[in-house]
Amino acid sequence: MKLIQILCITGLLWLTGCASTTTTSSSSSIDPATGLSTSSAASRDAGALQPITAAQAASRAVAQLQPPADLWERIRRGFAMPNLDNDMVHEREQYYAARPDYILRMTERSRKYMFHIVEELERRNMPSELALLPFVESAFNPQAVSSAKAAGMWQFMPATGKHFELKQNVFRDDRRDVLASTRAALDYLQKLHDMFGDWQLALAAYNWGEGNVARAIAKNQNAGLGTSYSDLSMPMETRLYVPKLQALKDIVADPQKFNTSLPDIGNHPYFQKVDIARDIDVTLAARLAEVRVEDFKALNPSANRPVILAAGTPQILLPWDNAAIFKRNLQAYSSGQLASWTAWTTSTTMKASEAARRAGMDESEFRSINHIPPKMMIKVGSTLLVPRSERVEDDVTEHVADNGQLALAPEPPPITLHRTLVKARRGDTLAALAGRYGQSAASVAGWNRMSASAPLKAGQHLVVYLPMKARPAGTLTAHARTRSGGKTSVAVASTRARPGAKVVASAHSRPSGVKTAARAPAKSAQRVAKSAPQRASRDTVVASRTR
């Protein structure tokens, strides 16, 4: 029995020796970003555990044991950009610290969007300071529009927005959209950081333009100067851009130091996405979600019309707890159509008054809802918002919802018409003569107080009203000659009329030095005098040939 025990112990000792004498060929490597070893075998070879450095502790590779107390703490943990310390930063710190109401309004406005932005930054492994950039750009107002036409809380210019696939049409402007604009802004900032390898230069390029920053760097390189943000020559707006962000970072990092308080923003989502399958009015969507229209628009600021088109915007954002309420109320809704508006694409150029008449709307309401300023015409192919009748069952198509545009042109000025005598040709009818001058037979008949079917004689003189530029050479224009104070002047019978308006003639005086190439017969002159405007009827009318 003792022999068996001795053999067992000997076998165990032999196995233990084999395990302890096995060597490993594993080699360790250090992650330059975190300073941590990538080989667990190397850690065992090193023996006792070593304390991590401060840089390693600040790295995102080291997980915190306690979750952040709020979103501000989460942002502080993600700070990763080098600090800027100069007089401009200190001046901005004092500026913000002296305006607690302004800081409070901005931060309160940001609570709807901040969690989503921080989530996206962490997913991309980008510095959390960038979550504060909309404070600098727009004070976190998604409806903000600059004098240069930049829009949204990330302030995209129209061309830059299109480059980053932000739709801009009559129904929506994705530069204001919370999700789309944040995606585009972070894409752009990542691109700029890849170009310049420095976050401060990337921010300067976001404000000033990548081409301008690249040229400023090249200029300094050629002059043997530094190429950091502080070294470059740039406009004052860009010079203050990073100091503003740094000042806000310092305040968020230590609010008490600046005698500032930040509102509590929970470290959880504020909104969630909800799918929609049909067009729906903005006011109805807000009512079904049981939120104020203002709050609904704050989460869906890209909708710039009173209706949301499902083909172009298949999702809406709602406060987290109201999403379920909306779905429940939408399912139970049975009061008719969800949308009271639809889209109409014009087939011809027309005035706003005519388009409003066709849509059955008041002109002022039509102009307001379609953003048509005074004295502008609607060009062919424009997409307009009009009331949706109960007979219309189909929603707006995806093509129209994504590509609808409004094209405008100035209304043409009033046309100046001149009263002109023309001769009928052999075999002419009233319709043929009127067509030759671009007029209708009814108009020519009315001007000459005759029937539209009346026969014409060769050489017969008739009155037509022609635009000044359209008067052909060889026609006769009626003039009225008057004497006043021993001086003679000649008045040309003409009229100013808008298309479709009643022709009202007026007399414009002309100096008496008008050259007369031919005289009309006396009877023709009498006929002209009888039909001339009242103010010129007392004058002697002669006919002169225009060239």
DSSP notation for 263-329 = ----SS-SEEEEE--S-EEHHHHHHHHTS-HHHHHHHSTTB-SSEE-TTT--EEEEEHHHHHHHHHH
Side chain identity at residue 542, one-letter code = V
- Which of 119, 137, 354, 393 does the annotation list as catalytic? 137
DSSP-assigned beta bridge partners for residue 133: none
The residues that bridge with 465 in the sheet, in sequence order, are 419
353, 311 contact by CB (below 8 A): no
- How far apart are the C-alpha atoms of 93 and 493, rounded to whole Å? 74
Tell the CATH topology of 417-467: Membrane-bound Lytic Murein Transglycosylase D; Chain A (3.10.350)
8 A C-beta contact, residue 191 and residue 331: no
CATH T-level fold of 71-258: Lysozyme (1.10.530)
Residue (of 310, 255, 246) closest to 277 by Cα position: 310
Do the beta carbons of residue 200 and residue 133 sit within 8 Å? no
Q: In whole angstroms, what separates CA 506 from the centre of its chain?
A: 47
d(CA 464, CA 479): 14
Residue-level pLDDT at 515? 37
Residue 8: the pLDDT is 56
Residue ranges of the chain that CATH labels 3.10.350.10: 417-467
Distance (Å, whole) CA 462 – CA 444: 8
Do 235 and 76 contact (CB within 8 A), yes or no? no
Q: Which two tokens stand for residue 179?
A: 């999700």
The 8-class DSSP code of residue 145 comes to B
- The three-state secondary structure class of 374 is coil
Looking at residue 417, its pLDDT comes to 84
Following DSSP, what letter does each residue of 451-508 receive, concatenated?
Answer: -TT----TT-EEEEEEEGGGPPTT-EEEEEEEEETTEEEEEEEEEEE-TTSPP-EEEE
**Which residue do the tokens 């530069």 mark?**
175
Asked about 137 being catalytic, the answer comes back as yes
C-alpha distance from residue 442 to each of 50, 434, 453 (Å): 104, 9, 10
In the prediction, which pLDDT does 542 show? 30
Q: Which two tokens stand for residue 528?
A: 């002209």
Is the pTM higher than 0.75? The answer reads no
445-482 burial, b at 16+ Cβ within 10 Å, e below that, comes to: bebbeeeeeeebeeebbbbbbbeeeebeeebbbbbbbb
Q: Distance between CA 148 and CA 158 in Å, rounded?
A: 10
For residue 380, give the nearest of 403, 408, 400, 404 by alpha carbon. Answer: 408
Per-residue pLDDT tens listing for the chain (547 residues) = 555 555 556 655 555 554 444 444 434 444 444 444 444 444 444 445 566 554 455 455 555 668 898 999 999 999 999 999 999 999 999 999 999 999 999 999 999 999 999 999 999 999 999 999 999 999 999 999 999 999 999 999 999 999 999 999 999 999 999 999 999 999 999 999 999 999 999 999 999 999 999 999 999 999 999 999 999 999 999 999 999 999 999 999 999 999 999 999 999 999 999 999 999 999 999 999 999 999 999 999 999 899 999 999 999 999 999 999 999 999 999 988 999 999 999 999 999 999 999 999 999 999 999 999 999 999 999 999 999 998 899 999 999 999 999 999 999 887 788 899 999 999 999 999 999 998 999 999 999 999 988 999 999 999 999 887 644 544 444 444 444 444 433 344 444 444 444 444 443 433 333 333 333 444 444 444 344 443 333 322 333 333 3
Q: How far is CA 163 from CA 123, 214, 362, 403, in A?
A: 23, 19, 38, 16
Residue 459 — left, alpha, or beta (φ > 0 → left; ψ -120 to 50 → alpha)?
A: left
Q: Which residues pair with 387 in a beta bridge?
A: 341
The answer to whether 317 and 300 are in contact (CB under 8 A) is yes
Between helices 87-97 and 241-253, what is the axis angle to 10°?
60
- How long, in residues, is the chain? 547
pLDDT value, residue 67: 84
Beta strands per DSSP E along 290-393: 307-308, 315-319, 341-345, 350-351, 376-378, 383-387
Cα distance between the two ends of the chain:
142
State the pLDDT at residue 20.
46
496 burial level (CB within 10 Å; 0-12, 13-18, 19+):
middle
The pLDDT score that the predictor gives to residue 45 is 44
Please say whether the beta carbons of 384 and 346 come within 8 A.
yes
Torsion angles phi and psi, residue 105, rounded to 5: -65, -45
Q: Which residues contact 486 (CB under 8 A, 6 or more apart)?
A: none
pLDDT, residue 60, reads 53
- CA–CA distance, 158 with 317 (Å, rounded to integer): 24
In whole angstroms, give the CA distance from residue 244 to residue 317.
30
The residues, any chain, with a CB within 8 Å of residue 522's CB and separated by 6 or more, are: none
Cα(62)–Cα(199) distance, integer angstroms: 23
* Parts of the chain belonging to CATH 1.10.530.10: 71-258
